Structure formats: C-alpha cells, structure tokens
Structure 1
Amino acid sequence: MAFDSERPSILLATPTGSNGQLPEVLKPMLNGIEEEQIPFQILDMEGGSAVERAYNASVASRLSVGVGFDDAHIIVHYKNLKPEKPLFDVAITDAASIRKVGANAARLVKGVPFKK
C-alpha cells in the first residue's frame, strides 16, 4: 500500500531499504494500535536512528504520532516534543509489552490514559 499523506494515521517508520516491512517480532504492536481503532501506515523513512525516524514520522503524520524502532527499542514520538526527547523508549522484550506500546501510541492520539 502506498503512503497517503492526506490520510490521518500513526506513521510507523521503517529503516530505508526495508520496503515498508516490519520485523515479525513487532507485529503485536500493530494489534495494539488496531485494538484502539486508530489507523496506521508503514513507510520507509530516512534517519540515522530510531529516534530520528520516529520524530520525522510524527511530523509527517496528520495525527502527530510517529513510531520508529531498531533491533532493541521501539520509540514513540509526538511532533510537539523536542526531536531528541521521545515520549516512549521501550525495550523490545515480549509480545505483551510490544502490543502495549502500539496501544499507547494510539491512546496518545485518542487523548486517553496510557496502559501501564
């Protein structure tokens, strides 16, 4: 699916060259976003680090929320925060915590309390 800049959605920024594909281990994050009923899009994005990609995605997102990742962490960013200060920096450990990161990114959009 091609990126639609007009579609309100959380943007999940994959490293350039990944063809918009999330690693299997991060699939629970999509379930967390979907359970909160917020749309998302996955796209390749420039940036040297997961934090940079997450921030760039948040600026490009019509919902102002972007997610980036590397081999060890998932980063959730909000466009009104400083580029080097993401909202969440969560270690990739188990499916439940990965799912919760997705749900909390969606809850940021909805303006409801985060899951603990």
Structure 2
Amino acid sequence: MAIDNDKPAIFIALPSKLNNKLPDNLEPMVNGIEEEQIPFQTMHVESSDSAVDRAYQAAVASRLSVGISFDDQQIVVHYKNLKPNEPLFVVPIDNPTNIRKIGANAARLVKGVPFKK
C-alpha cells in the first residue's frame, strides 16, 4: 500500500502477512484514535518482524511523529524522538478497553494533552 506522507496522520505499521486490514480485535484501537479526531493510515513495513521496530519506522514516516504496531501479544506506540528500542507504550492485547485507550493515548500524544489512565 502506498502511504501519503504529505497527509498528517498516525501511521499504523502492519506486518507483511496482513493485507491492509487490521485484525478485528484491534478495531477498538482505531475507535480510540477516531474519538480524539486524529487521522490515521496503515502502512506495511517489510524489513522487520519486531513490533517495536515497525512502530518506530512508522513514527519516523509520520508527519505527526507517532507510529503504532502490534504482534500477537502486544500493541506498541512509538514517538519519533525516542530511541528506536524504547517505545512510549507497550500494552498487552488483553481487553477491548485497554486497546481503545492505547489508540486514544496515541492520538493524545499528537494533541499534547494528558493520557488516559
């Protein structure tokens, strides 16, 4: 999928095994981003199997400097100005409430407002 680097958006890096579609269990994350009214788009990162690395690459590519990635166990939120191996949030994929909050908190990072607990 071609990404639009000119459009300000949080980038969600998908593993290469997915075809431009988030798994259904991560839909609450997208809802959390949308409720904060921040745009997002998906992208593929071919060079890494690490969710942390994919999230960092997404953050670097994003004009908003925020990237998200995931694997089977966790969701990772990264910020461009952090060290590549030190993401801002790593949250287990364990319940829809936490998944929604991580999306909202990624958007709140862009807005510069306090995070949800």
Q: TM-score, normalised by structure 1?
A: 0.97
What's 2:75 paired with? 74
For 1:40-70, what per-residue CA distance to the aligned partner results, in whole angstroms no more than 9, with x for missing partners?
A: 0011112220000000000000000000100
| CA positional deviation for 1:2 | 4.5
SS of 1:53's partner is: helix
Between the two proteins, what is the percent identity of the paired residues? 65
Q: 1:2 & 1:82 partners in 2: Cα distance?
A: 26
Residues paired across the two proteins, number: 116
CA contact (8 A) 1:57 1:66 kept: yes
Q: 1:19 & 1:5 partners in 2: Cα distance?
A: 20
* Runs (5+) with no aligned partner, structure 1: none
Q: 1:37 & 1:45 partners in 2: Cα distance?
A: 25
What's 2:93 paired with? 92
* Runs (5+) with no aligned partner, structure 2: none
CA RMSD in angstroms, aligned pairs only = 1.0
SS of 1:97's partner is: helix
What's 2:43 paired with? 43
Taking the TM superposition and a 5 Å limit, the aligned residue runs for 1:1-116 are 2-46=2-46, 47-116=48-117
- Which segments of structure 1 move beyond 2 Å, counting only runs of 4 or more? none
Q: TM-score, normalised by structure 2?
A: 0.96
Q: 2:102 & 2:12 partners in 1: Cα distance?
A: 12
